[in-house]
Amino acid sequence: MRLLFLAVLRPHTGNAVTAQRVRFAVAFTESMKEMAQAQWPHAKGKVYVQSQGIATTPNAAFNWNTFLQRSEINQSADNLHIFLLICGLRQVKDPLYLVDAFSAWHQEEPNVHLVIVGPEVDPVFTREVKAKVKRAAGVRLIGEMPQEDLHAVVKNCFAVVNSSVSEGMSAAILEAMDLEVPVLARNIPGNAAVVKHEVTGLLFSNPQEFVHLAKRLVSDPALEKEIVVNGREYVRMYHSWQVERDTYQQLIRKLEGSTED
């Protein structure tokens, strides 16, 4: 569960900010709100629901061919399909979850590639990921990129993938929807809160199901189009960055007003 706390700190012993001192908490979903109130019953009435807002800014000057070269992907391959996994290299993101299954699929169909993009958060785990990817055909690992370049990569790829063990609300999923790119996400509560299967994206429960759904998406342009249209509309309706900004501004004004009393 991911919560953003807005708190007025008062002098006290120690540095821990307890739930009793929190003035407001913001949860991404109603289920997160319920979990927070169950954990902190005294916080009832303090928890507000506001979905994460999304704004995408792809770099118009980004060179897709250069990116493919950097990723050592053959640009001349017919019907090239790039699946993009965006995550920091840490265990909760589980970037190796799909590697074996995807590599086996690539050996059957060399035009499909999985590119993992993200910062090296956990040095020990990063070494494990690099070693595994180095041995996996059709899987590439790229370091952290500027946000505008990353949005350009999303815009050009075939689909965005999420394989996390746990998520609050994945910005990468919402950004892909905003950029009209289909999403395949691991079926966990945080992902299922924003991805409705076969409507705004596809949910998988194991690597084999991922490959099955990915193949289906590649071979069914009508399904791809429907998911893209629905995903874009969903983000426009429920993940406006302006609405998110207004919510936090209102909460900050409440905090400022209460401190003046």
| Chain CA centroid to CA 90, Å | 14
CA distance 173 to 191: 8
Per-10-residue mean pLDDT, the chain, length 261: 37 40 69 73 72 88 94 82 97 98 97 96 97 97 96 98 93 96 96 96 98 98 98 88 71 67 52
Residue 21: its pLDDT value, please?
59
pLDDT in the model for residue 249? 75
- Give residue 159's pLDDT: 98
Record the pTM: 0.80
User: Strand order in 112-117's β-sheet?
Assistant: 139-142, 112-117, 81-86, 159-162, 183-186, 202-204
Can you read off the two tokens belonging to residue 26?
């913001």
Question: Could you give the CA distance from residue 9 to residue 235 in angstroms, rounded to a whole number?
Answer: 34
- Rg over alpha carbons for the chain, rounded to the nearest Å, is 20
Element (H, E) at 116: strand 112-117
Judge whether 126 and 137 are in contact, CB under 8 Å: no
Q: Can you tell me the distance from the alpha carbon of 83 to that of 158, in angstroms, rounded to the nearest whole number? A: 6
Nearest-CA neighbor of 44 among 52, 33, 55, 32?
A: 33
**Residue 218, C-beta contacts closer than 8 angstroms, at least 6 positions apart:** 81, 112, 158
Residue 84: enclosing H or E segment and its boundaries? strand 81-86
Q: What is the pLDDT of residue 44?
A: 72
